[in-house]
Every structure is written in structure tokens, then in C-alpha cells.
Structure 1
Amino acid sequence: MTSHLRIACSRHNLQQVRDFVRSFLMAGHRNDVIVNQVVLAVDEVVANFIIHANGEDANQFLDLMLALTEHRLDIEIEDQGHTIFIPSSVAPNPDMREYIRQGRRGGMGMALVSRIMDQVEFFERDAHTVCHLSKTLG
């Protein structure tokens, strides 16, 4: 089972992305915990693309592709912009207690994505940035 969605790079489209991922996974009869975790991970990556890679330029687009086999979920998020956005460190593993003690905010999203998904990979394809996420489902 596969599905595709194209959105403009606007925060206003994040709800559409969450609904798209949730509907796709629920059609595959996945449990609510897994569905909510994957929705959160995809939302974080898409938000990073929208905000950091495209400066919320609604003239730019992102393509999302979801593929579900019996036990594996693969997701690709492709940036259609002209700026290559490849984070230097995909998943820092911060000391959460220290992070909270310092009162810091933000910067934890990709660490969370890496904990939820089995594989998180950013790469360049045809002068576009692609994030590939995968998870083995029970």
C-alpha cells in the first residue's frame, strides 16, 4: 500500500500532513500508539523542512510518500526547493534532566524522531533534499 501527498511549505499544512499519515496507518490497521508516534515523527521532520529549509515559503513544496508492507513502513519526505537541507547531526542524545534544568526549549525534535523510527536518513537526490524514515512494525 502506498500513498502520496504534496503540500506547500506553510505551517498551516501541518494538520493536513498529520491527518494524511494517521489515515494511511489506520487503513493498515495499526495500533494507536504506533500511529501517534509515527505521526509525531513525520510532523517534526515536515515542520523542520517548512521552517528551516524553506523559510515558510508557500511557493515551495514538499512531497510525502508513504509505503506500508506487512511489517515495514517507509516514508520519504522530499523538498522541492533549491536549498540542500541535511542536518549535520541527525540525532543528538541529550541529557534530558540537564536540558530541563537549563530551561532550554526547542532542538529536541530530531532526537525524538530518531527514538521513534528505526532509521532516519537525510540525503540529496536530483538537487533536492530527501529524508527517509523507516520503521519495522509488529
Structure 2
Amino acid sequence: MKSALRIACSRSHLQQVRDFVRTYLNSRQLPEITINQVVLAVDEVVANFIIHANGEDESQFLDLELTFENHDLNVEIADHGNTIFLPPPHQSPNLHDYIRQGRKGGMGMTLVNRLMDRVVFFTRGNHTVCHLSKHLN
């Protein structure tokens, strides 16, 4: 089963994204904790694309596609903005340093990598794509 959504690059569409993912996962009768984890991971990646890659330019858009096959959930988030947005390779930051320094932000992708089984950013043509996957029993 596949489901797709297109949104403009505005934070005002984040609730729509969360609702879209939650509705799709609820139809699979998954545990609430799993649903919450996936919703949070997708929300973080979409927010990063909206804010960091597109500067909240509502003339740009993102496509989300959710598929479920053989107990694997696959999420593809394709950015159709004017820039390539490839985050640096994942590194686990030192949480004690973050707390000691009083830093805010910068932990979202660490969380996404912990919540999902696989997180890959790549380019397709002149667009950036993020593929998230999670094995679900």
C-alpha cells in the first residue's frame, strides 16, 4: 500500500504531515509507540527540509511517499527546492557537552537515526531525497 502527499515549504504544513503519517500508520494497526516514533522522525526531516534547505519558501514543495511491504515501512521525502541539502554524515554528539554548553538544536538527526533503522540522504537529478526505513513486526 502506497500513499503520497505534496506540501509547500512552510512550517504551517507540519501538522498536515504528522496527521498524514499517523493516519497511514494507524491503518496498519501498529503500536502507538511505533507510530509516535515514525511521526517524530518524519516531522524532523520535513522540518529540516522546510527550514534549512528551503528557507520556508512556500513556492517550493516537498513530496512524501509512504510504502509498506514485507513488514518494512519506507518513507521517501523528496525536496524540489533550488538547492541540494545533504546533511553531514551522522555523528553522535556528546550529550554532556551539549548540556554543559547550553546548546539548543542540532540533535534532530541524531534522534531520527535512533528512531529509524535506516536513514539515507541522496540526490536524484538536482533534488535532494531522504529515505527512511523501519522494520515493523
- TM-score normalized with structure 2 length: 0.97
Alignment of 1:85-124 (within 5 A): 85-89=85-89, 91-124=90-123
RMSD: 0.9
- The alignment covers a number of residue pairs equal to 137
Quote how far apart the aligned CAs of 1:70 are.
4.0
**Which one-letter code corresponds to 1:9 in the other structure?**
C
**Which one-letter code corresponds to 1:103 in the other structure?**
G
User: Runs of 4 or more off by more than 6 Å in structure 1?
Assistant: none
1:137 corresponding residue in structure 2: 136
The 3-state SS of whatever aligns with 1:30 is coil
What percent identity do the matched residue pairs reach? 64
1:32 corresponding residue in structure 2: 32
CA distance in 2, matches of 1:125, 1:92: 24
Quote how far apart the aligned CAs of 1:97 are.
2.5
CA distance in 1, matches of 2:97, 2:110: 15
Residues 8-52 of structure 1, C-alpha deviation per residue, up to 9 Å, x if partnerless?
000000000000000000001111000000000000000000000
Alignment of 1:19-58 (within 5 A): 19-58=19-58
The 3-state SS of whatever aligns with 1:77 is strand
CA distance in 2, matches of 1:84, 1:95: 28
The 3-state SS of whatever aligns with 2:128 is strand
The 3-state SS of whatever aligns with 2:84 is coil
Quote how far apart the aligned CAs of 1:99 are.
1.3
CA distance in 1, matches of 2:15, 2:53: 19
Quote how far apart the aligned CAs of 1:98 are.
2.5
| Stretches of structure 2 lacking an aligned partner (at least 5 in a row) | none
The 3-state SS of whatever aligns with 2:34 is helix
Quote how far apart the aligned CAs of 1:94 are.
1.5
CA distance in 2, matches of 1:62, 1:125: 13
